[in-house]
Structure 1
Amino acid sequence: MVSKLIDWNKVSLRDNLDILTGYAFSSKKFNDSDGLPLIRIRDLLSHNPVTKYSGEYDELYLIEKNDVLIGMDGEFNIVRWKGPKSLLNQRVAKIKSSNKNLIDNKFIYYRMHSELKRIEALTPATTVKHLAKKDIQNLTLLLPPIKKQQKIAAILSSVDEAIEKTEQIIEQTETVKKGLMQQLLTKGIGHTEFKDSPFGKIPSNWKTVFIEDVVEINPENLSSKTDDFYELDYIDIASIEKNNITGTNRYLFKDAPSRARRKVKTGDTIVSTVRPYLRGFAYINERYNETVCSTGFAVLRSKNECHSDFLYQVILSDRFVNYLISNMTGSNYPAVKADDIKTYNFTLPPKDEQIKISNILSEYHKKIETELNKLTILNEIKKGLMQQLLTGKVRVPINENEEVPS
């Protein structure tokens, strides 16, 4: 390690990094329509400020794209700003190299991730953790020569670009699918004759049903008398990410959580009844047949009249989510009851059309799933590269004649 880091030097951030903390703009001039966007901590990850400021300001606090910003409360997030030209509000800081011979702006963005997490872990808090300007100024970092910094930053930036493109594809595909869902779940495919319904005009051969008419809810549960050494694979709320099951935990029945009770089979749809606005919904495919999920889910099993794939598409609709949210009770742990799900009504086509509709929408779901898997791989690649390159574990060769992006 010593030989690899022989050309790395200790650099004081107090002497070589400018740190601008945000201004306490008057909240009396906050609004949602006039003036410049105002970057608050909650906007850092979305890059989409919702508050605007209509008063006078010092141009020192203007933020442009690619400026490096740090949230100074809660989680100490660091981002390269992707949003519009905005103003820097209090408790958000901007960092910038003041010595281009020692610190590259793009490199310090990547390098600071681990430092901020370390500071966050060491910062005591009774409620919300706070980062001080001096916490950054007091850092002395071991950094490679400037050309190596630039090359490392260029490598990591190329992965970030791939991540961003993948995220855009996912977002665009989700938008297209959402529009198709709205059309197909109410108008169907190729109909010319329609009738009135509580949902407006629907195809004349469709009908309206309640979920309880065509679905069994929580059809099977593990008995409390199950053998202690019965092995089960358990799906909990944390196992669901973007409507996909990311994995299960294996338990003996005697060691399993008390909520591990609901049995699921291929074709079931599970719906989170706890905090349903988080969309903890998933379709049970062959891989998870005969597993067990938490009682924090409602298990929906289609009867013969309703195709399981079509039911899943109904569950994914914004209308169903909004229905659940409107029926939530409780403030600390907002939840809905299985009985609330039973009374959700929707339009039901003949079964052959259900299959056609679900096949169309499933293609978009598969594309989203493929891109999500790609995104996971890219994030893992980035994580590994950061661990290797930012610590000098992997040497980055530099040709003196090589043009490195600045």
Structure 2
Amino acid sequence: MGEPKLRFKADDGSDFPDWEDKTLGELFHISAGGDIDKSNCAAKQSKDYPYPVYANALVNNGTYGYANYYKIDGDTFTVTGRGYVGHAVARHCMYVPIVRLLVCQPNMDDDVDFFAEQINYTRVFIESTGVPQLTAPQLSKIKVKRPTLPEQRKIADCLSAVDAVIAAQQAEVDAWEQRKKGVMQKLFSQEVRFKADDGSDFPDWNETRLNKLCEYGTNRGTGGNYVGTENMLKDFGGVAVENRESEGTGSLYGPGDTLMSNIRPYLKKVWTADCEGACSTDILVFHPTNVVPDFLHYVIASDSFVAYVMSAAKGSKMPRGDKAHIMQMPVFVPDKDEQLKIADCLSSMDEVIQKSKDELAKWQELKKGLLQQMFV
């Protein structure tokens, strides 16, 4: 790690001293969590079980449960020792670490938030032929840069302020996605109905089957924009198209077709194509024939559709939906004018969600840039 390009000034305007080269073992006492006392733990927090139990996980900050005792008290940071190895979280509470979760307790006055950020930027990696594992002796050898405590705190406060904005923006994204989910449930259950432009009621919805609305997997069009399961984006917002020729397997797709990953871990990754191309056999292609394309997209993106697909999925490790079963799915459909209104409503919500995601990405990129300048 080189010299930082972005430095803070002392309160009197003077320069802080140069950063020291240290190892984590010189600055912190490092230990592993160990076994959990299950007889003194509970799944939910209460006055009888107030202390968090943290494990090697990223979800919910690694919270495993709650205990009526604690092992660690004071400002520390933990580092995951198994699974997603090397993820650091600053802890400012009494808690119980378990299994291979590593705990770093300062030997002197150091800011744990600063070092947790530095460890995450360093991206600790341990080569392993089996399950990746980071031990206390290995972590103790990791080299870090140590500014004085006042500069550590200035850096940590700056990054914490950016983190607060990122968290608030993520909460906004999550809130809009929940709103959209609620709107979809009300619309597709017909609890909420639109009116025609003249104020009259639309006709009742008709029950049909998916194969009456669209075709599946026929060879249409040409193009080299290839989509495989690995191209489906993590946020379910679309695909990363590779501009390469098809390898002769799978189906072709064209503008207006809805594509969906057909492997269980990636279900709900749905995209309405805006170009021509080809895709792998693990991508389902729905070509609208008797339905508004955007309305079909939201049918495929609904929770009820995913549940239906999984009800007949085949395979133990990586279940895949049965195509014949999928095309027989019962669907209630309004007339095309109401389909358009529903699609326009949900598309408008998607635009708001995307703007919120774009703003989130800007703040995440800002933090990334700050870290690059601070921890060269």
Shorter-chain TM range is 0.7 to 0.9
Q: Which residue of 2 aligns with 1:153?
A: 156
The separation in 2 between residues aligned to 1:270 and 1:173, in whole angstroms, is 23
The separation in 1 between residues aligned to 2:77 and 2:272, in whole angstroms, is 40
> TM-score scaled to structure 1, two decimals?
0.77
Q: Which residue of 2 aligns with 1:268?
A: 257
Find 2:54's aligned residue among 16, 39, 44.
39
Find 1:173's aligned residue among 153, 173, 176.
176
Find 1:232's aligned residue among 187, 208, 224.
224
Q: Which residue of 2 aligns with 1:8?
A: 19
Find 1:99's aligned residue among 108, 113, 117.
108
- Give the 5 Å matches for 1:2-151: 7-27=18-38, 32-33=43-44, 35=49, 37-42=52-57, 44-47=58-61, 49=63, 51-53=65-67, 57=69, 59-61=70-72, 68-80=77-89, 87-100=96-109, 103-115=110-122, 117-118=123-124, 120=125, 122-126=126-130, 128-151=131-154
The separation in 2 between residues aligned to 1:375 and 1:11, in whole angstroms, is 34
Alpha-carbon spacing, 1:311–1:109, altered in 2? closer, same or farther (3 Å): same
Residue 330 in 1 paired to residue 315 in 2?
yes
Between stretches 363-372 and 79-88, larger displacement belongs to 79-88
Query: Which runs of 5 or more structure 2 residues have no equivalent in the other structure?
Result: 8-16, 196-201
Percent identical among aligned pairs is: 23
Letter in 1 for 2:35: A
SS at match of 2:226: strand
The separation in 1 between residues aligned to 2:332 and 2:179, in whole angstroms, is 21
Contact preservation (8 Å) 2:194, 2:338 = no
Alpha-carbon spacing, 1:79–1:323, altered in 2? closer, same or farther (3 Å): farther
Give aligned pairs, total: 353
Q: Which residue of 2 aligns with 1:278?
A: 267
The separation in 1 between residues aligned to 2:91 and 2:188, in whole angstroms, is 36
SS at match of 1:41: coil
The separation in 1 between residues aligned to 2:65 and 2:265, in whole angstroms, is 27
Q: Which residue of 2 aligns with 1:340?
A: 325
SS at match of 1:244: coil
The separation in 1 between residues aligned to 2:285 and 2:39, in whole angstroms, is 49
Q: Which residue of 2 aligns with 1:243?
A: 236
The separation in 1 between residues aligned to 2:182 and 2:159, in whole angstroms, is 35
Deviation sequence 1:124-183 (CA, Å, 0-9, x none): 232x11111112223342333333333332332233222211211111111111111110
Contact preservation (8 Å) 2:260, 2:283 = yes
- Give the 5 Å matches for 1:305-384: 306-384=291-369
Contact preservation (8 Å) 2:309, 2:322 = no
Contact preservation (8 Å) 2:77, 2:88 = yes
The separation in 2 between residues aligned to 1:274 and 1:19, in whole angstroms, is 41
Contact preservation (8 Å) 1:47, 1:82 = no
Residue 295 in 1 paired to residue 281 in 2?
yes
The separation in 1 between residues aligned to 2:353 and 2:93, in whole angstroms, is 27
Contact preservation (8 Å) 2:4, 2:374 = no
> TM-score scaled to structure 2, two decimals?
0.83
Letter in 2 for 1:124: S
Alpha-carbon spacing, 1:310–1:154, altered in 2? closer, same or farther (3 Å): same
Deviation sequence 1:206-228 (CA, Å, 0-9, x none): 11111001111113257xxxxxx
SS at match of 2:129: coil
SS at match of 1:91: strand
Deviation sequence 1:328-352 (CA, Å, 0-9, x none): 1112331112212101112111111
Deviation sequence 1:57-109 (CA, Å, 0-9, x none): 3x33469xx96321111221424369997532221123243322xx3222101
Contact preservation (8 Å) 1:214, 1:302 = yes
Contact preservation (8 Å) 1:48, 1:83 = no
The separation in 2 between residues aligned to 1:124 and 1:135, in whole angstroms, is 12
SS at match of 1:22: strand
Contact preservation (8 Å) 2:82, 2:132 = yes
Contact preservation (8 Å) 1:276, 1:324 = no
Contact preservation (8 Å) 2:203, 2:334 = no
Q: Which residue of 1 aligns with 2:212?
A: 213
Alpha-carbon spacing, 1:82–1:308, altered in 2? closer, same or farther (3 Å): farther
Letter in 2 for 1:45: V
The structural deviation recorded for 1:281 is 1.5
The structural deviation recorded for 1:2 is 6.9
The separation in 2 between residues aligned to 1:208 and 1:299, in whole angstroms, is 22
Contact preservation (8 Å) 2:79, 2:103 = yes
The separation in 2 between residues aligned to 1:381 and 1:247, in whole angstroms, is 23
Alpha-carbon spacing, 1:2–1:272, altered in 2? closer, same or farther (3 Å): closer
SS at match of 1:47: helix
Letter in 1 for 2:60: S
The separation in 2 between residues aligned to 1:76 and 1:3, in whole angstroms, is 25
Alpha-carbon spacing, 1:153–1:96, altered in 2? closer, same or farther (3 Å): same
Contact preservation (8 Å) 1:262, 1:293 = yes
RMSD: 3.0
Contact preservation (8 Å) 1:276, 1:321 = no
The separation in 2 between residues aligned to 1:311 and 1:83, in whole angstroms, is 49
The separation in 1 between residues aligned to 2:296 and 2:223, in whole angstroms, is 30
